[in-house]
Amino acid sequence: MPQQFEEGAPGERELPSWQDGPARRAIEDFVTRSTAGVNAVPPDERIAVFDNDGTLWSEKPMPAQLHYIVERWAAAARKDPTLAERQPYLAVVRDDLAWLGRAIDRHYAGDDEDLRAIIAAIVALTDGMDVEEYASSVAAFFADARHPVRRTSYFDTTYQPMRELLAYLERRGFTCYIVSGGDRDFMRPMSERAYGIPPERVIGSAIGLTYDSESARVRYGNSFSFLDDGPEKPVRIWSRIGRRPLLAVGNSNGDMPMLDFALAGDRDALALLVHHDDDTRDDPPYDAGAEKALAAAADRGYTLISVERDWSTVFSGERLPEGTSG
């Protein structure tokens, strides 16, 4: 089970898994400016948005949603062997999950040919299914699934420093949202337990929905509605929240428009970019999919979060002595 969020007793050290350094100071200084003094922002305007995979929890060797999908593609291919003649089913039956990873990397590089095949196969999994049935299926997955490398519950692969940051912001009147390229309805059944974020504050990609009046159920259709990544993120933030965020946190090229959207407002804002540079505690260190964001960070005003230098703990139960790094 993940650690529970705590309010923090008076005098208790805030953000205990964060090392003293530029990232932590930037966060604390920004929150102080935003919540106290003549420039304090009203609480209902204190909006913080967080990417999910690679920002709030581990996305390597594959995101949890991909694990869920792969299991169901394998079952579909066993039922209909002709599916295995094309991608992405071919990659699954051959246990070539690297193909899926390369498809995601190509997406971040601007090539979506393989991603289109993946999306079509994802849509096929839920076509005609009602939303509550899907939510139950996802909840059952999270009850039993284990991270393929760490062999622990996916809830234990959340980043402890980010969970502390979410709780810290909430205590100071911020409202936190997840804004992810992942499937909105896949994240909703787990977001409250993992992060303390209720399902109505989860923004993500979505398959088209229809209403079945005979059964009074909402069902998934046979088309993909939108991919909540890149320039779509600010659009979805505005359509769902109706406010420009003061704080945005991501880890990839696809998060850049969201970070820029926060920084371009009239008010003081903070954009944080997680850099997976720890070769001893992370899963594993990587820059793939974040090259553009990392190269542009200084010019665009992103504050880098170094997993190696800024986090004394990555996952729960891995705390190092304060003042040390991985």
**254-274, pLDDT tens digit by residue?**
999 999 999 999 999 999 999
Contacting residues for 181 by C-beta, under 8 A, at least 6 apart:
51, 53, 204, 205, 227, 228, 229, 254
| CATH number of this structure's domain 22-58+157-310, picked from the four choices 3.40.50.2300, 3.40.50.300, 3.40.50.1000, 2.170.150.70 | 3.40.50.1000
**94-117, pLDDT tens digit by residue?**
988 888 878 877 887 788 888 889
What is the end-to-end Cα distance of the chain in Å, rounded? 24
**Would you state the structure tokens that stand for residue 310, as one six-digit string?**
């800024």
In the chain, where are the structural domains located?
Answer: 22-58+157-310, 64-144
Residue 10 has pLDDT above 80, yes or no: no
Residue 301 has pLDDT above 60, yes or no: yes
In order of 64, 138, 145, 239, 286, the CA distances from 67 in angstroms are 5, 11, 9, 30, 20
Residue 183 has pLDDT above 70, yes or no: yes
Contacting residues for 151 by C-beta, under 8 A, at least 6 apart:
none
Residue 2 has pLDDT above 80, yes or no: no
In order of 27, 36, 179, 202, 229, the CA distances from 255 in angstroms are 19, 29, 9, 16, 7
Q: Is 273 helix (H, G, I), strand (E, B) or coil?
A: strand
Of residues 156 and 325, more confidence is placed in 156
In order of 103, 158, 243, 248, 302, the CA distances from 307 in angstroms are 25, 13, 30, 17, 15
pLDDT band at 318 (very low <50, low <70, confident <90, very high): low
Q: Is the pTM of this model over 0.85?
A: yes
Asked if residue 46 lies in contact with residue 52, where contact means CB atoms within 8 angstroms, the answer is no
- The pLDDT of residue 281 is 84
Contacting residues for 317 by C-beta, under 8 A, at least 6 apart:
none
**207-249, pLDDT tens digit by residue?**
999 999 999 999 999 999 999 999 999 999 999 999 999 999 9
Across the range 163-174, mean pLDDT stands at 97
Residue 308 has pLDDT above 80, yes or no: yes
